[in-house]
Structure 1
Amino acid sequence: MRAIPVLVLVVAVVAGLNPPAAAAGPRVLRVAMARGLDSVNPFLATSLAGTEIGRLHYEYLTAYRPADFAPAPGLAEHWRTSQDGRTWTYTLRTGARWSDGRPITARDAEFTFTLMRDNEAARTANGNFVAGFESVRAVDERTLEITTRTPRATMLALDVPIVPAHVWSGVTDVRAFTNDSAPVVASGPFRLVEHRRNEFLRFTANEHFWRGRAKIDELVLLRYQTMEAAILGLRRGEVDLIGDGLAGPLTPAQHDTLRTEPGIIVQRSRAQRFYELAMNPGAASRSGRPLGDGHPALTDVRVRTAIATAMDGQLLLDRVLGGHGAAGAGYLPPVFAELHLPVRRAVDPVRANQILDEAGYRRDTAGQRHDPGGRPLSLRLYGRGDRYTDARNAEYVRTWLGELGISVQVQIMAGASLNDLVGAGRFDLAFSSWGVGPDPDHVLSIQTCGQRPAEDGTGGNTDTFFCDPEFDDLHTRQRAELDPAARAGIVRRMQQRWHDLAPAVPLYYPDSLEAYRGDRFRPFQLQPDPGGSITGQSGYWGYHSADPAPATPPNPAWPSWWLTAAATLLTTAALTWLLTRPRRNPAHHP
């Protein structure tokens, strides 16, 4: 009977060599976040990360199809318009609910649009969408009626997050409301349940999402200070996805390196954004009151044109982006071919110097140019530390402008600091980047006079403080033009006007370079499809489609042949010992 403990020991040792798999836990998609996050308040968020999070939380009246950006149902399942194109009637879907279980009604949409119309702060991010609204009315629980002062071509592209009236009606100060007290009441595919600033945001799947619950249980956005740290996290399995929308694009070298790593899949898609060198053409409030401290020479279109003529976007594309993108031309990226204007200045430093000479900006004996009043043409150039291209591009820009006799002081800083300085008009030159949606109205609106800040410097969503009555008139006309071809023609004229006045220079349109753990997740839904991106979409398709790969048995700590051999050896040894060990004489047993 003494043999039993020995055999039990053998079985335990063998079993311990190949421990059982851990119990299955929640299905979690972990996404790296290296971009700056300005706010999770949908009325204030203008950063790419803030907008991305807003789409996770809140559904819009209409959506954009993942295949081709065509308008598709959102909270509104169908719609109709009056013969004169001024009154739009949306029918909200039956059974849609907020994440707290309360029904989503037309009164929520009425509340949202009315708040934006009446509250300056609520118009910060997306105020252009309610410009020209004459009335908004919930006819009943499912019917929303919007009447505009003139026909509107943008009524199926209202990128406005519909918020729950039963929550937001209690908000007394929109600008101070952080909207991160968990759990956030949401209508989108996920809801925020935990937010630790500068660490992570954790979401759970919205059980009431009208398109159906996501396949994952949780979505966690993990904060990384650098892309290098995020890539290390991907390699170690700390995160599953590095996407352009939250982390920023990979560098070409990072993209190419990750391509060869087992278990990792890289994704490259055509650019839906532009990267520019913005200039301060004379920052001012909406009423024209000067703001900031921009160099006065930049109010001269000849100086801005000379600077633009010296910029070589193709060289930056080749040397900094490794060719992953397209050289800058018109304001809108070429992925939107029917709207893109392929206008580009010839790179000509000789001509740029000639423009400055003719305008009276003379060089001193050291080669430094001065304006006609004697002030040196010495400009500050700001860039973001969380955008790897800015520091490299700044050195090229400094060299090119140095050849014109313009000295440049480069400062790379945190994204939030740059946004604060540019928003206050306290800059000369700055690198900037904007995403472009399927409908151009919003990104064109940031160049209009009305998007400049209020008298106290708050509100607005301007790019460069550009203000031109002719551009504004064209913007109004394109919004009212219902014929797509005629509207595209007006949009191209707007781009030409912007190009001629040169408040900024589109340097290039960067491709979106992303990577994910293909050993953990099946391919994501792209937009557009094929050839699109996983994140940074005009929608939430990539996140909502996240589908964990089938679980695979864990690799044993030791190869299976070794386990078999070890088990055989131990069993043989135990039996041998049992058979050959000396036995006591029972007569001498106590």
Structure 2
Amino acid sequence: MLVLAAMPPAAADGSSEENTLTIAVSQQVDSFSPFLAQLLLTTSIHRLTYDYLTNYDPETNEPIEGLAESWEPSDDGRTWTFDIRDDAQWSDGEPVTAEDVAWTYTTMMEDDAAATAQGNFVENFEEVTAPDENTVEITLDEPQATMLALDIPIVPKHVWENVDDFAEFNNDQFPIVGSGPFVLTDHKPNRSITLEANPDYWRGAPGFDRIVFRYYDDQDAAVEALRSGEVSFVEGLTPTQADDLDGEENVTVNNADGKRFEGFTINPGAETQDGEEFGDGHPALEDKTLRQAIMAAIDKDEIVNKVYGGYAEAAEGYIPSRYDDYTWAPEGDDRIDFDPDDANDMLDKAGYEIGDDGVRESPDGDRLELRMHVHNDDPARVDIGRLLEERLAEIGIEIDNQTVDPGVLSDALYAGEYDLIFTGWTVNPDPDAVLGIHTCDALPTEPGTMRGDAYFCNEEYDKLYEQQLAEFDDPEQRAEYVKEMQAILYDEAVVNVLTYPNAIEAYRSDQIADIQVQPDPGGNIFGQDGYWSWWSAEPAAADDTGPVTSLPAWAIAAVAGAAVLVLAGAGVLVAVLVRRRAATVGDRE
């Protein structure tokens, strides 16, 4: 949950007091180390405090410059040369150089602990060098399509080379040296996290002087604070809250297309990469017919209407529909539509007989009583769990609905001690990371070490995964591979997608004059692939020169006098420069 607090009013003498944006959160910090952090809160903070090699355009989600101003792949796709900008600096005044980039990636390649969070991006790297201060050269074992989507924060070598143990270092010595538009200056556990604006950021200083992430337990209280003007922004609204706020004076509701999916996975039998079986999943779930019958018994439209009040989309493919290039849906006979009669017929023919109590037994005589683990901290998931319990009873499956703490749920997943378990992922513009968690090498090396959310292993899926990763120069072919992978996930019915929930947010228009959504139009404010929302946000109290218009990336670049150049055919891509002048709030683009 997220909330933004009101800015202090302008001082009586006409001077401007510092503007603070307060974001209410409930998620705890896992680590401030970019090598270890995996939770949304901390990775979002890293987006604000560190630069990445490239970024995502706030309008289109296409790759644009970050620390790299331009790049060029070799003809065979195995060598990439990046030109590093010369006007970026660390918050302690040291320049950001190519050596910082090379050191970050090389450390992840050589140290398992440093590869904890984002190691999949560098698994294919053979060598990373810095021939000079402004050039990075990456040599790959095989071509890699994600070279412009390396979601890895670049850390300062002069700070991090003194760390003895990357597994233990949490990067909590404040202020933390970074290179992003904000500097992380303070953390009071269970109370607040404070970031100060970086006035020397190469794209221009942020509109707000400070961001405070403050902990709240009750979202209803946060909504009331929005109504009263005590806070400026609330994320994660329920449909009821959104409907109640819609039309209120000085409140704008942003109903954004969802960038995540909600669903559940089925335990087909937990095992390690070397085939060691563990856990106690129901043995009948090894049968794909049973898994598909479960999906045929679920009414996704009912979930959209009853649980989300229409603020969601019924889903089938793994990639949300906002990503036009990669989204997929089954057609014709491949579809598993909501049809309880067909589900019952499938089970009858497969030998699942109904007992006297209305519960089926498997052909091996195992009663179909399945444990379903549901997060107790998410009202939507709790409601979906109740609906699934009702619908599956109609086809002779009894559900033991275990609505539990997320920690208990995670323990059950890693131990393989569940039958159905709820899950959901936020999907980035490049789908590689979320697809990679279902390859065979994502299975645990030993119980408790998995990096995915399902015990799924399929050779054809793995082959397609390698093909899409290597397809760096044919986006359409890569998209076809990605869609074929989703078709396998859908057919196997181990990883099951139910909905793409909308991102429902609200802010006070009398406190925030303007803020960038991503993508634009129709995008979200919180949880972006970049820092655009909080960097671009304009305090209404300081907006005394008329309305501030949030310009698209190309327009910002044009106003700033930046050059835009694309040299196609030569394999050279010079990124669109998105820059803001360092000026007063009212004068900035």
Same fold (TM over 0.5): yes
Cα offsets for 1:235-257 (capped at 9, x unmatched):
344432123xxxxx211111111
| Matching residue of 1:11 | none
Q: Does 1:129 align with 2:116?
A: no
Alignment of 1:173-322 (within 5 A): 173-243=165-235, 249-322=236-309
| Matching residue of 1:154 | 146
Tell me if the contact between 2:436 and 2:465 (Cα under 8 Å) persists in the aligned partners: yes
Tell me how many residue pairs correspond in the alignment.
529
Letter in 1 for 2:139: T
Shift of 1:174: 2.9
Tell me if the contact between 1:125 and 1:461 (Cα under 8 Å) persists in the aligned partners: no
Residue aligned with 1:147, SS: strand
Q: Does 1:435 align with 2:426?
A: yes
CA distance in 2, matches of 1:192, 1:307: 47
Tell me if the contact between 2:256 and 2:502 (Cα under 8 Å) persists in the aligned partners: yes
Tell me if the contact between 1:312 and 1:507 (Cα under 8 Å) persists in the aligned partners: no
CA distance in 1, matches of 2:85, 2:260: 32
Residue aligned with 1:508, SS: strand
Residue aligned with 2:132, SS: coil
Tell me if the contact between 1:268 and 1:514 (Cα under 8 Å) persists in the aligned partners: yes
Q: Does 1:502 align with 2:532?
A: no
Tell me if the contact between 1:526 and 1:541 (Cα under 8 Å) persists in the aligned partners: yes
CA distance in 1, matches of 2:108, 2:253: 40
| Matching residue of 1:462 | 452
Return the match for 1:362 from 338, 353, 358. 353
CA 1:271/1:290 → structure 2, altered by over 3 Å: closer, same or farther?
same
Residue aligned with 1:80, SS: strand
Q: Does 1:325 align with 2:312?
A: yes
Letter in 2 for 1:463: D
CA distance in 2, matches of 1:230, 1:110: 43
Shift of 1:217: 1.2
Return the match for 2:86 from 94, 110, 115. 94
CA distance in 2, matches of 1:409, 1:384: 14
Cα offsets for 1:494-553 (capped at 9, x unmatched):
111111111122111111110112111112111111221111211110011121113599
| Matching residue of 1:571 | none
Shift of 1:268: 1.1
Larger Rg: 1 or 2?
Answer: 1
Shift of 1:416: 4.1
| Matching residue of 1:414 | 405
CA distance in 1, matches of 2:354, 2:514: 58
Tell me if the contact between 2:514 and 2:539 (Cα under 8 Å) persists in the aligned partners: no
| Matching residue of 1:61 | 53
Return the match for 1:515 from 483, 506, 512. 506
Letter in 1 for 2:380: T
Q: Does 1:336 align with 2:328?
A: no
Tell me if the contact between 2:278 and 2:447 (Cα under 8 Å) persists in the aligned partners: no
Tell me if the contact between 2:253 and 2:507 (Cα under 8 Å) persists in the aligned partners: yes
| Matching residue of 1:570 | none
Tell me if the contact between 2:270 and 2:281 (Cα under 8 Å) persists in the aligned partners: yes
Residue aligned with 1:137, SS: strand
Cα offsets for 1:187-233 (capped at 9, x unmatched):
22222212222222111112342212212111011122232232123
Return the match for 1:471 from 457, 461, 464. 461
CA 1:231/1:181 → structure 2, altered by over 3 Å: closer, same or farther?
farther
Consecutive unaligned residues in structure 2, runs of 5 or more = 1-10, 545-589
Residue aligned with 1:176, SS: coil
Alignment of 1:383-402 (within 5 A): 383-402=374-393
CA distance in 1, matches of 2:224, 2:278: 43
CA distance in 2, matches of 1:185, 1:280: 43
| Matching residue of 1:539 | 530
Residue aligned with 1:465, SS: coil
Residue aligned with 2:387, SS: helix
Tell me if the contact between 1:110 and 1:138 (Cα under 8 Å) persists in the aligned partners: yes
More displaced stretch, 266-275 vs 159-168? 159-168
| Matching residue of 1:483 | 474
Q: Does 1:530 align with 2:521?
A: yes
Tell me if the contact between 1:36 and 1:415 (Cα under 8 Å) persists in the aligned partners: no
Residue aligned with 2:513, SS: coil
Letter in 1 for 2:282: H
Shift of 1:492: 0.9
Tell me if the contact between 2:292 and 2:336 (Cα under 8 Å) persists in the aligned partners: no
Tell me if the contact between 2:512 and 2:537 (Cα under 8 Å) persists in the aligned partners: yes
Shift of 1:282: 2.4
CA 1:362/1:196 → structure 2, altered by over 3 Å: closer, same or farther?
farther
Residue aligned with 1:101, SS: coil
More displaced stretch, 155-164 vs 73-82? 155-164
Letter in 2 for 1:298: L
CA 1:379/1:312 → structure 2, altered by over 3 Å: closer, same or farther?
same
Cα offsets for 1:415-455 (capped at 9, x unmatched):
34433432443332222111111111111111112223333
CA distance in 1, matches of 2:259, 2:476: 21
Tell me if the contact between 1:112 and 1:165 (Cα under 8 Å) persists in the aligned partners: yes
CA 1:77/1:400 → structure 2, altered by over 3 Å: closer, same or farther?
same
Shift of 1:28: 0.4
Letter in 1 for 2:316: A
Cα offsets for 1:86-116 (capped at 9, x unmatched):
1001111103111122221222222221222
Shift of 1:82: 0.8
Shift of 1:348: 1.3
Tell me if the contact between 1:226 and 1:386 (Cα under 8 Å) persists in the aligned partners: no
Q: Does 1:26 align with 2:13?
A: no
Tell me if the contact between 2:443 and 2:452 (Cα under 8 Å) persists in the aligned partners: yes
| Matching residue of 1:73 | 65
Residue aligned with 1:139, SS: strand
CA distance in 1, matches of 2:414, 2:95: 39
Cα offsets for 1:554-581 (capped at 9, x unmatched):
xxxxxxxxxxxxxxxxxxxxxxxxxxxx
CA distance in 2, matches of 1:166, 1:380: 51
CA distance in 2, matches of 1:420, 1:179: 27
Q: Does 1:52 align with 2:39?
A: no
Tell me if the contact between 1:36 and 1:416 (Cα under 8 Å) persists in the aligned partners: no
CA distance in 2, matches of 1:325, 1:107: 45
Shift of 1:22: 11
More displaced stretch, 22-31 vs 506-515? 22-31
TM-score normalized by the length of structure 2: 0.85
Return the match for 2:130 from 138, 152, 155. 138
| Matching residue of 1:446 | 437
More displaced stretch, 178-187 vs 472-481? 178-187
CA distance in 2, matches of 1:297, 1:226: 41
Tell me if the contact between 1:186 and 1:206 (Cα under 8 Å) persists in the aligned partners: no
CA distance in 2, matches of 1:176, 1:427: 31
| Matching residue of 1:425 | 416
More displaced stretch, 290-299 vs 300-309? 290-299
Letter in 2 for 1:531: G
CA distance in 2, matches of 1:210, 1:520: 26
Tell me if the contact between 2:415 and 2:447 (Cα under 8 Å) persists in the aligned partners: no
Residue aligned with 2:217, SS: coil
CA distance in 2, matches of 1:50, 1:409: 34
Residue aligned with 1:241, SS: strand
Q: Greater share of helix residues, 1 or 2?
A: 1
More displaced stretch, 524-533 vs 200-209? 200-209
